[in-house]
Amino acid sequence: MISWPVLLLLAHLIGLAWGVGAATVKLSLLLRCKTDYSFVPVYIRVAKIITRQIILGQMVLTLSGICWLLLGYHLTFLLGVKLALVAAIWVLGPFIDNVVEPKFHKLAPAPGEPASPDFVRIQKQHFTLESIATLIFYVIIVLWVQR
Mean pLDDT of 71-91: 92
CA nearest to 30, candidates 41, 20, 43, 19: 43
Range of the domain at 60: 4-146
Q: What band does 147 get if pLDDT is binned at 50, 70 and 90?
A: confident
Q: Give the up-direction half-sphere exposure of residue 66: CA atoms within 13 A in the CB hemisphere.
A: 6
pTM > 0.85: yes
* Total of domains in the chain: 1
Read off the amino acid at residue 17.
Answer: A
Sequential DSSP letters for 46-108: HHHHHHHHHHHHHHHHHHHHHHHHHTT----HHHHHHHHHHHHHHHHHHHIIIIIHHHHHHHP
What pLDDT, on the 0 to 100 scale, is given for residue 68? 87
Read off the amino acid at residue 110.
Answer: A
- Note whether 103 and 122 are within 8 A (CB): yes
Mean pLDDT of 12-31: 95
What pLDDT, on the 0 to 100 scale, is given for residue 110? 87
Model confidence pLDDT, tens digit, residues 34-73: 989 999 999 999 999 999 999 999 999 999 999 988 988 8
Q: In this model, does residue 131 exceed pLDDT 90? A: yes
State the greatest distance between any 2 C-alpha atoms of the chain, in Å, as a whole number.
Answer: 60
